[in-house]
Amino acid sequence: MPTPAQPAPAKSRFSVSSTQLLWAAIVVLAAALAFMFSLGLQPGQRKLTQEDINAAVLKTMETQVMPSEYAKAYENIFPSVVRVISYVKKSRLKEEVAKAEAGAKQLPGAKPLPGAKPKASVKPKPLGPAKGDPPPTAAEDEEVEQGVGTGVVIIDKGVILTNLHVVSGADRIKVIFSDGLEANATITGAQPENDLAVLQASKSPDDLIAATMRSTSDLAPGDKVLAVGFPFGIGPSASGGIISGLKRAFRSPEGKQEMNNLIQFDAAANPGNSGGPLVTMDGEVVGIVTAILNPTPARTFLGIGFAVPIENAAQAAGLPPF
C-alpha cells in the first residue's frame, strides 16, 4: 500500500526568506542615508563642527529680526491685564456738592470765585446703597465714570488684583479683559495699608490666563522691568525701565498714608497705571504699581514710581507666600 504523501511542514509566521532579508537591509540602508543627509553628513563630506554651528546661528541672528526682551515680556503678561473702571451715581455727586457748598458758607469771609463750582470729593463707602436713602430719580440714578485703573488676573476664575484707591467708594466696578469681554466686579478683599484690593469678576473668558507671580527675594537694582497698564485710560500700554531701589517708603501727597517696603522703578507710570503689574523680562509679576513721586500738583511721571511687592499682594488675595 503506497504511503500517503506527508503534508509539507507549515511555514512559521516568523520565518523570513532571503528575499525578505534583502529588502529589509535595503530599507535600513535607505533610512540611514536619509538620516545622514538630514544631518548634513552626506557620504564624503566632513562632519559639522562647533564653528559651523556658531556661524549658522550668527547668520540667522543677522538676517532675522529677533523680538526684544520687553516685547516678549509684554506678550506673556498681556492676556492677564484688565482695564478697571469705577462708577458713581449722580445722586452721590449731588450730595457731595451740597456738602461742599455748606462747608464754604461756614468759612467766615470765604467767597467762591466768579463762575467757580464747588468740587465734589467722593469718599469711600461700602458698595451698594446706604440703608434709609430715598430712591433716586432716573436722572440721579445715572452713573458717572469716577476713574480708570488697571488690574491683573491672579486666578483664572476671574480673581483680579488692583489698587484700592481705584475702586474705593464706587457704586459699580467694571472690568474689561484682554479679549474685550466686559463684566461687573465686586470687592472681595482689601489690604488698605498697601492700597490693594481683590476683585471677583461676575464672568470671565473661558480661556482666561492667570499671571505668573514671582518672588522678589532675588530682585536687585538694575534688573529690567516692564510696567503695563492704562495711563490716562490709554492702553494697554507698556513702558520699560529698571529697578531703581528696594525697601522704599512713600507718603501720599495728603500725608494720610505711608507705605513701606516698596519697589522703586523708573518705567514710566501715570494715573491709570494704578493697579497694573510690574513684570520681569520673563513676564512674571513682581509688584503692583501703586504710586508715583511728583512734588508738583501735575500728578505726572518724573522718573520715580513705586510698586507693592507681589508677596504683599498675594497675601491680600489669601494666597500662600512664596
When pLDDT is cut at 50, 70 and 90, the band that residue 97 belongs to is: low
- Whether 156 is a known active-site residue: answer no
Active site residue 52: no
Query: What span, in angstroms and rounded, lies between the C-alpha atoms of 271 and 146?
Result: 13
Q: How far apart are CA 213 and CA 152, in angstroms?
A: 11
Identify which has the larger pLDDT, 254 or 270: 270
Q: Which of 31, 47, 63 is the last residue of a domain?
A: 63
98 domain-assigned: no
Query: Considering the domain boundaries, does residue 296 fall inside one?
Result: yes
* pLDDT one-digit tens code per residue, 125-140: 333 333 444 554 555 5
CA-angle at 239, arms to 224 and 265, nearest 5° = 50
Amino acid at site 243: I
How confident is the model at residue 251, as a pLDDT?
83
Q: Which of 80, 86, 91, 274 is catalytic?
A: 274
- Whether 274 sits among the annotated catalytic residues: the reply is yes
**Residue ranges making up the domain that contains 228:** 212-316
**CB 254, CB 241: distance < 8 Å:** no
Closest CA to 173 of 185, 189, 160: 185
Asked whether residue 309 is domain-assigned, the answer is yes
Q: What phi and psi values does residue 160 have, to the nearest 5 degrees?
A: -130, 140
Domain termination site, one of 42, 63, 84? 63
Give the residue from 6, 40, 63 where a domain finishes: 63
Residue 117 covered by a domain: no
Residue 146 clears pLDDT 80, i.e. is over it: yes
Q: What are the tens digits of pLDDT across the range 177-197?
A: 999 999 999 999 999 999 999
Q: Is 181 exposed, middle or buried (0-12, 13-18, 19+ CB in 10 A)?
A: middle
Residue 37 lies in a domain: yes
Task: Report DSSP state, residue 254.
Answer: T
- Judged against a pLDDT cut of 60, whether residue 264 lies above it is answered with yes
The fraction of the chain above a pLDDT of 70, given in percent, is: 68
User: Do residues 252 and 260 touch, judged by C-beta distance below 8 A?
Assistant: no
Res. 12 pLDDT band, cuts 50 70 90 = very low
Would residue 73 count as lying in a domain? no
Catalytic residue (one of 165, 171, 204, 239): 165
236 assigned to some structural domain: yes
Enter the C-alpha cell of residue 170: 464706587
Residues 6 or more apart whose CB falls under 8 angstroms from that of 47 comprise 41
CATH classification at residue 229 = 2.40.10.10
For 259-268, b/e burial (b = at least 16 CB within 10 A) is beebbbbbbb
Q: Is residue 46 part of a domain?
A: yes
Is residue 164 predicted with pLDDT exceeding 70? yes
The Cα 22–Cα 14 span in angstroms is 16
Question: 92-96, 232-236, 267-271: lowest mean pLDDT where?
Answer: 92-96
Amino acid 252: pLDDT: 74
What pLDDT is attached to residue 305?
Answer: 94
Q: What is the CA radius of gyration of the chain?
A: 33
Give the number of domains in the chain. Answer: 2
What band does 31 get if pLDDT is binned at 50, 70 and 90? low
Q: What is the pLDDT of residues 44-69, one digit of tens each?
A: 566 778 887 777 777 776 777 777 89
Which residues pair with residue 273 across a beta bridge?
A: none
Bridge partners of 89?
Answer: 143
Helix and strand numbers (H, E) in the chain are 6, 12
Please identify which of the residues 195, 204, 237, 266 carries the catalytic annotation. Answer: 195
C-alpha cell at 99: 456738602
Q: Per the omega criterion (within 30 degrees of 0), is the bond before 236 cis?
A: yes
